[in-house]
Amino acid sequence: MGVAMCVTVKSIMREWLLRNGYDGLVNGDAECGCRVIDGLDPSPRFMECIMLGDTGQCEPAYQREPTEVECADGYMWIMTTTKPGEGGDNGAE
């Protein structure tokens, strides 16, 4: 018999997002976004707001590079529901 794994909502969400080509979650209304992976490891902040009690209106999202203005404001990445190459943006930092 194999080793039992702890299955959580967070682990199910992480697996689904990665399997379907997403980079994380975004809530444009709250200007909130989180990444599934941070560097080479699972992000410790993934789903942090939901885990802290926010019911969340998050949507699957893709990561994009910030604009010059966003960089100047200190953002290193932006999450958006727009797939790269499809134009438009309704993301959050």
Compute the distance between CA of residue 57 and CA of residue 64 in angstroms, rounded to an integer: 20
- Model confidence over 11-33: pLDDT tens digits? 898 899 999 999 999 987 777 88
- Model confidence over 31-63: pLDDT tens digits? 788 888 876 677 777 887 776 666 568 899 999
- The domain ranges of the chain are 21-80
CB within 8 Å of 26: residues ≥ 6 apart: 32, 33, 58, 59, 61, 79, 80, 81, 91, 92
* Structure letter (DSSP) for residue 7: -
CB within 8 Å of 28: residues ≥ 6 apart: 59, 81, 90, 91, 92
pLDDT at 92 over 60: no
Full-prediction pTM beyond 0.85? no
